[in-house]
Amino acid sequence: MNERKGVRKIVVPGELIKEVGKPGNGVFVENGKMYSAYLGIVETRAGYVNVIPLSGCYIPKKGDKVIGKIIDIAPMNWVVDINAPYYAPLHVNDVPWHVDFGYTARYLSIGDVVLAKVSNVNELGQVWITLKEPGLRKLEGGHIIKISPFKVPRVIGKGGSMIQMLKEYTGCRIYVGQNGMIWISGSPEGMITVIKAIRMIENEAHTYGLTDRIKAFLEEERGEENGN
């Protein structure tokens, strides 16, 4: 998120882009003119003009931390739904355990949820993910909810301020996947509060003073709890 104040300019698919620069992501050129390919916002960076989409499915990028759901099992890999157009295979070589051929189901079963990292994406949109890095793992307990991947920066907040506040007020552990999947673990009351707050952020992402309103909401919830 950049630091500019004010209403951001939105472009629609096919809209002429007036900003000057080399065509970057999310734009296309026709007869020497640049147009937006998405419903999105224009951003100029390092001489390139990009359109950042405002909606749609998650488009995986190398290095993203994502939360995914195991939806199928094969002898040498699992198939993981990471909320993208394509499923991501998780190969036995990319997990921190030694898995013998055919024994994949012993480690992760259908319906399990993992915190993984996108290790590679190719031109065709095929994605590979890994669990081989500290912190990456199967997530146990808690609950996952899904938001638009484009609202992730709002949930995290500037410098992580929003998510930090949610954690402090509720005592919950929270992981926000870049793919819009959020894992929450803590007391039932805390989790319900976090989920309500995230839904508020999602619905009011376009308004001013969101952080203050979320803070007021969290104060109120905490007050109610103490009152009980």
Partner 1 sequence: MSNSKFTAGVIPEMMKKYIHKLASKGTRIDGRGFDEIRPLKITKGYAKRAEGSALVELGRTKVLVGVKIEIGTPFPDTPNMGILTTNAELAPLASPTFEPGPPGEEAIELARVVDRGIREGHAIDLEKLVIEEGEKVWIVFVDIHVLDYDGNLFDASGYGALAALADAIVPASRYELGDDYKLPVQHYPVPVTFAKIGNWIVADPNLDEESIASARLTVTTNEEGKINAMQKGLSGTFTYEEVQKVINMSMDIGRQVREIILGDSDGKED
Partner 2 sequence: MGIKADIKLIDDNGLRIDGRLPNQLRPIRMEVGVLERADGSAFIEWGGNKIVAAVYGPREAYPKHVQEAEKAIVRARYSMAPFSVDERKRPGPDRRAIELSKVISEALESVIFVEKYPRTSIDVYIEVLQADAGTRVAGITAASLALADAGIPMRDLIVGCAAGKIDGVVVLDLNKEEDNYGEADVPMAILPRTKEIALLQMDGDMTYEELKTAMDMAMEAAQKIYQMQVEALKKKYLEVE
Task: Give, as ranges, the residues between 120 and 159 that touch partner 2 (CB under 8 A).
Answer: 124-125
Residue 149 interacts with partner 1 (CB under 8 A): yes or no: yes
The binding track of 169-188 with respect to partner 2, each residue x by CB under 8 A or -, is --------------------
Q: How far apart are CA 134 and CA 143, in angstroms?
A: 22
- Which residues make Cβ contacts (< 8 Å) with residue 193, sequence separation at least 6? 169, 170, 218, 221
Task: Give, as ranges, the residues between 41 and 80 that touch partner 2 (CB under 8 A).
Answer: 41, 53-57
Q: Candidates 27, 49, 163, 191: give the one binding partner 1 (CB under 8 A).
A: 191
Task: Give, as ranges, the residues between 67 and 126 that touch partner 1 (CB under 8 A).
Answer: 69-71, 81, 83-85, 87, 109-113
Query: Which segment (7-15, 66-74, 136-144, 213-221) binds partner 2 by CB under 8 A?
Result: 7-15
The angle, 0 to 180 degrees and rounded to 10, between the axes of the packed helices 210-227 and 161-170 is 0
Q: For 95, how many CA atoms within 13 A lie in the half-sphere containing its CB?
A: 21
SS3 196: helix
Biggest distance spanned by C-alpha atoms of the chain:
67
Q: Which residues bind partner 1 (CB under 8 A)?
A: 56-58, 69-71, 81, 83-85, 87, 109-113, 139-144, 146, 148-149, 180, 188, 191-192, 196
